[in-house]
Amino acid sequence: MITRQTTCQSASGVLENRTAMRLLVVEDEPDLLAGLVRALRKQGYAVDTAVEGEDGLYKAQSIDYDAIVLDVMLPGLDGWQVLSRLRESKPTPVLMLTARDSSADRVRGLDTGADDYLVKPFDSAELFARLRALIRRSAQQTRSFIEIGEVRIDTASRTVTRLNQPVTLTAREYVVLEYLALHRGELVTRTDLYEHLFDENESTLSNILDVHVFNLRKKLGQDFIVTRRGHGYCIE
Ligand code: CA
């Protein structure tokens, strides 16, 4: 069990252990892209998209994604080129989608700095599992359970119990809770949450975050998440 911390420090410089929930999917096949985005959003991820290599590389360099799903065969820069240029500056976890199941491709992918790959066609459940593993690895979060007081979060199955009773959360409530829980004892700013949990189509001016926190408090206890007025939230 992880011991509870008692103070919320400033979040600056203490985010290296963050989990993450904002993904980039680079895929030029419209049907596959739409299906992937729909499925990943349903899992609670914020998902940005690119349909060609240059745009994908630009987004991957400018935004700190938690993981990137990168198709190999793309117009313009292909997936290999995107990956090798990205690796000049960033270690963002990358899962390659390849149409060919040749060991040469796999070796090339791993040599270029891919963290994992999946051969098309693939099962979405397998994609989700691999993404969760990638994100956990990169967050050095090898535990699959987080226990805070009477609340237990299973990050592998994405389920929550309170006093051993299951708590039903929406996908978004879950990711907000998991993010705060992985940063327990730290002040998490609203900006952090919007950057990591919401995608480019959601306005930071909306009150969507307040609604999720309100619902989480109803389900987990009013004091479970502390508001630092004007700064953000904290689980102590
Ligand atoms: Ca393609």
Mean pLDDT across 175-187: 90
Taking CA atoms, 90 is separated from 65, 68, 110, in Å, by 10, 12, 15
pLDDT exceeds 90 at position 137 = no
Q: 145-235 sits in which CATH class?
A: mainly alpha
Which residues are 97's β-sheet partners? 71, 118
Distance 19 CA to ligand 1 centre (A): 28
Q: Considering the chain, what percentage of its residues have pLDDT values greater than 90?
A: 50
Distance 32 CA to ligand 1 centre (A): 9
Distance 108 CA to ligand 1 centre (A): 17
Question: How high does pLDDT run on average in the chain?
Answer: 84
Confidence at residue 140, expressed as pLDDT on a 0 to 100 scale? 61
- Boundaries of every domain in the chain: 22-122, 145-235
pLDDT exceeds 80 at position 10 = no
How would residue 101 be classed by pLDDT, with cut points 50, 70 and 90?
A: low
Distance 229 CA to ligand 1 centre (A): 46
DSSP readout, 31-97? HHHHHHHHHHHHTT-EEEEESSHHHHHHHHHHS--SEEEEESS-SSS-HHHHHHHHTTT----EEEE
Query: Do 232 and 12 meet the contact criterion of CB atoms below 8 Å apart?
Result: no
Mean pLDDT across 206-233: 89
pLDDT exceeds 50 at position 197 = yes
Confidence at residue 19, expressed as pLDDT on a 0 to 100 scale? 42
pTM above 0.75, yes or no: no
What gap in Å lies between CA 12 and CA 213, rounded to an integer? 22
Distance 105 CA to ligand 1 centre (A): 15
| Fold designation for 22-122 | Rossmann fold (3.40.50)
Distance 184 CA to ligand 1 centre (A): 40
Structure tokens of 233? 């939230």
Confidence at residue 207, expressed as pLDDT on a 0 to 100 scale? 80
Confidence at residue 100, expressed as pLDDT on a 0 to 100 scale? 67
Residues listed for the chain: 236
Of residues 22 and 199, more confidently modeled? 22
Distance 72 CA to ligand 1 centre (A): 6
